[in-house]
Structure 1
Amino acid sequence: MRSEPTRRAALALALGLLALPAQAQDAAGKKPLRIGIIGAGKIGGTIGTLWVKAGHEVMFSSRHPEELKGLVEGLGERARAGTPAEAIRFGEAILVAVPYKAYPQLKADYGEPLKGRIVLDAGNATQARDGDLYAEVSANGIGATSAKYLADARLVRAFNAANYRVFEANANRPAPRMAVPIAADDEAALEMGKRLVSDAGFDPVAVGTLKDADRFAMGSPGFGHNLSAPDLRAKLGLAP
């Protein structure tokens, strides 16, 4: 069985990301961004890799950043490894992709530096793993619960509605691209979320506010679909 660092390096190679030029964003008149990722596992590693491919600078983080050496070396000079605190300082936007049971500790350790930051929240709560937090999400909704533990961040729910393998297999596919639902209360954060979903190789579908994130939460009818944007809008009952 491959180790996690080896798997991450293989992912980078599989997506063809060695020595890629960084002109994609500049050609579109957009300056590449600095993105920090808290949790460089399956979702964080996959989406971060796609952002490097799009020309962004990405800091993957872990409490043990030396374990990310294989991943960042495979991605080239626009990828680096650091601690979560370093990734937060580095990023113009932050992706949180950690197990949901870690959210209370995330708030305790990094709640202050995350205040006012644009944070894409990819977490899902499961009963077997997350216990009391799953009960809290069931009672209050995933958007409200994430907002509680990522208090005062400019939160965008994104990249939670499918397995990482689905994102890996469908990024940048020929039209129609796969749609990714997102939700936010902050308009500027929502616009950043749309850009980052698009840059990862998908079509963003804005569903509404954080309260509306329940419509594509794990276990909901809007979860787990590999659809075009028009088809996802129809599935979720959104205007065309």
Structure 2
Amino acid sequence: MKIGILGTGGMAAALGGAWVAAGHDVLVGGRSPLRARRTAELAAAGAGSLADAARHGDAVLLAVPAAAAPRLVTELADDLAGRTVVDCTNPLVPTDDGLLLDVGETGSIAWRLATAAPGAYVVKAFNLCHVSSWTLRPPTFENVPLAVPFCADHPTAVAATRTLIDSIGCTPAPCGGLVRAAYLEATAALAIGMWWAGLQPRNAFPSPAEAPQSWAASPRS
């Protein structure tokens, strides 16, 4: 698969490197040609402008700060039309009460991006783990492949996202349509806040198989 990456930070290098290792054709794009080349070298990928990356990919990873994402997607809307755009951003704001979401009245940053580029197939994914997780080959924890939750509407985007996740040794975890992306973003705020407090989020979510009664048998109890 051809993958374009918008951004030159840690997520661009880590996920770009994982996809290159999996055999994908990856191009990293940034406003700074120098930073794009440096990030591309870390990922063993190609380098170019933001527009180059948008046009390159069957799938395009949006790996820029959440606050800058809507404007960037608006600028590239024509280039992104018909492509799967994977939003890995977390619109989080530190406060005295912990991390809060900064999404305006739209419910999620992913929804704002879908509005900014109506011709693109926006997906929410890869936003729940620290960047270092994506440098593992493959990402496994306690001998279990990492599950990657994602929200997507279009069948093409669902298929592309499954390929992106499967190919790096992770397990796709579909969580519904893009309307549910707000829950993934809220989960990131909760989990990251717990990590910062020295707590372990997964200890709050035991396996249903270990509970007295399965959630699958009684989802509303």
TM category, shorter: 0.7 to 0.9
Residues 210-225 of structure 1: matches in 2 within 5 Å? Answer: 210-219=178-187, 223=191
Rounded Cα–Cα distance in structure 1 between residues aligned with 2:191 and 2:30 = 28
Q: How many residues align?
A: 197
Provide closer, same or farther for how the CA distance between residues 221 and 233 of structure 1 changes in structure 2, counting only shifts above 3 A. farther
Rounded Cα–Cα distance in structure 2 between residues aligned with 1:159 and 1:170 = 16
CA contact (8 A) 2:73 2:113 kept: no
Q: Give the alignment's TM-score, normalised by structure 2.
A: 0.76
1:105 and 2:75 matched: no
Match of residue 92 from structure 1: 58
Match of residue 165 from structure 1: 132
Rounded Cα–Cα distance in structure 1 between residues aligned with 2:152 and 2:209 = 17
Larger strand fraction of residues: 2
Larger helix fraction of residues: 1
Rounded Cα–Cα distance in structure 2 between residues aligned with 1:45 and 1:69 = 11
Structure 2 gap ranges (5+):
96-100, 193-200
Provide closer, same or farther for how the CA distance between residues 73 and 146 of structure 1 changes in structure 2, counting only shifts above 3 A. closer
Rounded Cα–Cα distance in structure 2 between residues aligned with 1:87 and 1:173 = 29
Residues 25-44 of structure 1: matches in 2 within 5 Å? Answer: 33-44=1-12
Match of residue 117 from structure 1: 83
Deviates more, 1:65-74 or 1:159-168: 65-74
Deviates more, 1:176-185 or 1:139-148: 139-148
Residues 66-85 of structure 1: matches in 2 within 5 Å? Answer: 66-76=34-44, 79-85=45-51
Q: Percent identity?
A: 29
Provide closer, same or farther for how the CA distance between residues 201 and 218 of structure 1 changes in structure 2, counting only shifts above 3 A. farther
Provide closer, same or farther for how the CA distance between residues 75 and 47 of structure 1 changes in structure 2, counting only shifts above 3 A. closer
Structure 1 gap ranges (5+):
1-32
Residues 180-199 of structure 1: matches in 2 within 5 Å? Answer: 180-199=148-167
Q: Give the alignment's TM-score, normalised by structure 1.
A: 0.70
Match of residue 8 from structure 1: none
